[in-house]
Structure 1
Amino acid sequence: MITHIVMFKLKDRSPEAIERTAQVLRDMEGKIEQLKFLEVGLDVLHSERSYDIALVTKFESMEDLEAYQVHPVHKKVIEHMTQVREASASVDYVS
């Protein structure tokens, strides 16, 4: 299993903007065959170093992760995130 985690810091850090973007991420669920697990977490600490949203996804293999990266549904999410994010960080590991 491959776990793929991405954290996003948004340009607009208002609760409404964060929830809108979290819903864009949640909307991937059930639409990408290779995506076996999806969790979207919203930051509760709100410190200066905090990121606003964490996306946790799981895949059966690296090939499935690679297929997810180029899937049309994910590409639409990337378009949205490119517009709204200030920064992002990711980690991928075998779980």
Structure 2
Amino acid sequence: MSLPLLANVAAQTIHPVAAQPLTHVVLFKLKDRSPDNLERTAAVLRSLDGTINVLRHIEVGVNVVPSARAYDVALITRFDSLADMEAYQVHPRHQEVLAFMREQTDTAAAVDYNTL
């Protein structure tokens, strides 16, 4: 039995529409989960706001319901296109924050999807 709807969703996920708005979500599990470090890390991520012209929206949240499967910090960013997200990835300010996050992070997971 064929599931064409699922096939279409999978194709869209694997091949983002370049000219369509894109949402980039990253979840972080930190090495140091102390309240001070969680807030400091969130502040560093929030410092990206207004520093990269292709970044249309940024939202940073610290998890409030701890559990074994939960991540500590969420970063949600939005871009006008895949090309804009790619420009963001190599921007010097993003690279600075990325270096900081690599030192802080135990595990990370990301998802990118076209925003409808």
Give TM class, smaller chain.
over 0.9
Question: What is the rounded CA distance, in whole Å, between the counterparts of 1:48 and 1:58 in structure 2?
Answer: 28
SS of the equivalent of 2:50 reads coil
Is 1:58 matched with 2:78? yes
Alignment size in residue pairs: 95
Gaps of 5+ in 1: none
SS in structure 1 of the partner of residue 43 of structure 2: helix
Q: Report how far residue 42 of structure 1 moved.
A: 0.8
Q: Deviations 1:43-80 (Å, cap 9, x if unpaired)?
A: 01111111000000000000000000000000001100
Matched, 1:86 2:83: no
Q: Which structure: greater strand fraction?
A: 1
Partner of 1:28: 48
4+ residue runs of structure 1 moved beyond 4 angstroms? none
- The amino acid across from 2:99 in the alignment is E
SS in structure 2 of the partner of residue 65 of structure 1: helix
Q: Which amino acid aligns with 2:24?
A: H
Q: Which amino acid aligns with 2:38?
A: I
- Once the two structures are superposed, residues 4-46 of structure 1 have per-residue CA deviations (whole angstroms, 9 ceiling, x without a partner) of 0000000000110010000000000000000000000110111
One-letter amino acid matched to 2:29: K
Distance 2:111 2:88 in 1: 15
CA distance, structure 1, for counterparts of residue 27 and residue 52 of structure 2? 20
Let me know the Cα RMSD of the aligned residues: 0.4
TM-score by length of 2: 0.81
- Measure, in 1, the Cα distance between the counterparts of 2:68 and 2:32: 14
1:6 aligns with 2:30: no
Q: Provide the residue aligned with 1:68 in structure 2.
A: 88
